[in-house]
Structure 1
Amino acid sequence: MSITVESQKRPEGSKPKALRRSGLIPANLYGHKGAESISLVVDAKTVERLLKQAAPNKTEIVLSIPELEWTGTTVLREVQIHPAKGTTYHLSFFATAKG
């Protein structure tokens, strides 16, 4: 089973708290181009659905970033949960090698 997630590039200079208040979860994509990473935001409702279906480091997730014209297979590398609130506050995706 693969899950498709659409994300957007994180606006330059945006504050993570403000993003979360507006229903977006900060995320990063690693491994798509060597050591380079991309700062992203994913809709909080999408993240909720994703976490119900995906197992970190196991489930393949097709991540698409329309404005960068990038789509690729990733795994959820890390999910950071707020210790007091129990809400997700950051995701890390890792692009898997094609093939």
Structure 2
Amino acid sequence: MAITVESQKRPEGSKPNALRRSGLIPANLYGHKGTESISLVVEAKTVERLLKQATVNKTKIELNIPELEWSGTTVLREVQTHPAKGTTYHISFFASAEG
């Protein structure tokens, strides 16, 4: 079972805390084009749902970035959680080779 996640490019110059206040979690996508990475944002509700279903480095996630016309199979590479609040504040995706 693959999980589908919709994301958007992170606006240029946007501040991570401002994004979090507006209900978005900063994210990165690695491995889709060699060493290049893309800065993204994913809705906090989507991230919560994702973390209930996905296992880091195991669960396949179909990641869609409509404005870049990119979609592919990824895995959740890293989840950073705020030490005091326990809230997720950054996630990383890694595009798998077969995607």
Task: Spell out, residue by residue over 1:50-73, the C-alpha distance to the aligned partner (whole angstroms, 9 max, x if none).
Answer: 000000000000000000000000
Whether 2:13 is the aligned partner of 1:13: answer: yes
- Structure-2 residue corresponding to 1:59: 59
Deviation for aligned residue 1:41: 0.0
Amino acid paired to 1:12 = E
SS in 2 for 1:27: strand
Deviation for aligned residue 1:40: 0.0
d(CA) in 2 for partners of 1:85, 1:3: 26
Alpha-carbon RMSD: 0.7
SS in 2 for 1:49: helix
Q: How many residues align?
A: 99
d(CA) in 1 for partners of 2:7, 2:98: 20
d(CA) in 2 for partners of 1:53, 1:2: 10
d(CA) in 2 for partners of 1:57, 1:36: 19
Q: Which runs of 5+ in 1 are unaligned?
A: none
Following TM superposition, where does structure 1 have runs of at least 4 consecutive aligned residues deviating by more than 6 angstroms? Answer: none
Whether 2:91 is the aligned partner of 1:79: answer: no
Whether 2:24 is the aligned partner of 1:35: answer: no
Identity %: 86
Q: Which runs of 5+ in 2 are unaligned?
A: none
SS in 2 for 1:30: strand
TM-score, normalised to structure 2's length? 0.99
